Every structure is written in C-alpha cells, then in structure tokens.
Structure 1
C-alpha cells in the first residue's frame, strides 16, 4: 500500500490518495460546496488518470455536500463509463448519504456504505 501526504486547501477540504491492490482510493475530508467543488473535480481527475481499473472515492470524512459536489460525482461517473473503468463512491456519513439518496443518484452511481465494501476481497 502506498500513501501520499494530505493536501490542505484554503477552502477547508483535504485529500488523501493511496493505492490498495488494484484500486486507487481518494479520501475526501471536509466540506464540498460551490467554493470547493472545483478542487474536488481536479483531485478526482488526477486520481482517475493515476488509477487502473477501479477508483474509490471515500466521502466518509465529508461533513457537508452541496449540489456542486453531486454534479462533480456525476461528471466523474460519466467519464468512468466512457473509459470503461469503475468508480465507487463510499457514502457512509449522513452528510453524503442523504443528498445522494434524496436526489436519486444512488440509482446512477455505484454507492457503498463502507470502504471495505468498495475494495475487492
């Protein structure tokens, strides 16, 4: 398992990326709103470029998720479909699970509750 140091942004959003087997895990910590969604998009794109077959976006550390963050997830999902790769979203916290469920995105995205569910055994 390899790990990179967390990157701190001025907008209260942190990212950690690690490789677990054949999966790249992007852990997101903080608030995803209008101000931080562009940074979220950049980190997702970089993780996608570096990942092989599976990118896991772990939103367990997200404390607030506004609609711009949901839009970024949809864009990433569509890009992964186009590339024939897999994007899994860990939405274990209420702050992420409720917006994803309320908007019906759980039917479009590949959503799990825990990181363990997202990683192959």
Structure 2
C-alpha cells in the first residue's frame, strides 16, 4: 500500500501507510487522530492485522493530536491481537500520544516502544 490521505477537516489531513518490515507489519500514521480520521487509521490497522505477520507495529511518531477514539482503537486492537495471537507494538515517543496513554494507564496494558527499530525488533 502506498501513502494515502483522508480529509479530516477542511484543512487537516492524515497520512498513513502499511508495509512489512523484518517480518512484522508496520503501520505509520502522521497527523491528527480524531473522530474524523479514525476510520482511516482503523482501515490501515485492519489491513496490517490481515497481513499474516506475528506482530503489528503502530508507529505514532508523527501524530500531533491523539483523541480518545485513538485510545479506544489501541484497546480494541490490543484485544484483537490477544485473540488472534498477533502482538500489537505501539511507538509513542511524543507527548501528544504518550500523555493520554499514560494518563489513562493504558501503558500498563499496551506495549510501548521509543522508536520503530526497537518495536520491530520486539522484546
């Protein structure tokens, strides 16, 4: 899949892509994750979860806003991963994403990584 864009608002966009890197599915998202853009992020995650890989790395490094709908998707796909034996690894090094995750204590459940390389390597 190449880079796709979804109109989030009149002037805001979100971009993302899905690829396979070193035996894991990698979903890279940039922009704002909110109620308008969440369906596109969900599509990218759905595609990654059907890629027949043992893990999905969700790279949120380029995300500038992460609404509660993004938190709900993390919970949803974490649960799906447990059911389907696919590990969800989330890269959330920025305050925009990490703050809501830590504030809601989702960091106790979701595997967080500081960068894509460590998430791809796992562990």
The answer, yes or no, to whether TM exceeds 0.5 is yes
Corresponding residue for residue 87 of structure 1: 88
Cα RMSD for the two superposed structures: 1.2
User: Aligned match of 1:8 in 5, 8, 12?
Assistant: 5
Provide closer, same or farther for how the CA distance between residues 63 and 108 of structure 1 changes in structure 2, counting only shifts above 3 A.
same
Task: Give the unaligned 5+ runs of structure 1.
Answer: none
Aligned residue for 2:60, secondary structure, equals: strand
Q: Which runs of 4+ in 1 moved over 2 A?
A: none
More deviation in 15-24 or 66-75?
A: 15-24
1:100 to 1:51, Cα distance in 2 relative to 1, 3 A: farther
What is aligned with 1:68? 69
Alignment of 1:18-97 (within 5 A): 18-97=19-98
The two structures have a TM-score, normalised by structure 2, of 0.91
Structure 2 Cα separation of the partners of residues 68 and 120 of structure 1: 28
Counterpart of 1:105 in structure 2 is 106
Q: What is the rounded CA distance, in whole Å, between the counterparts of 1:115 and 1:56 in structure 2?
A: 8
Unaligned residue ranges in structure 2 (runs of 5+): none
TM-superposed CA distance for 1:87, in Å, is 0.7
CA distance in 1, matches of 2:85, 2:100: 26
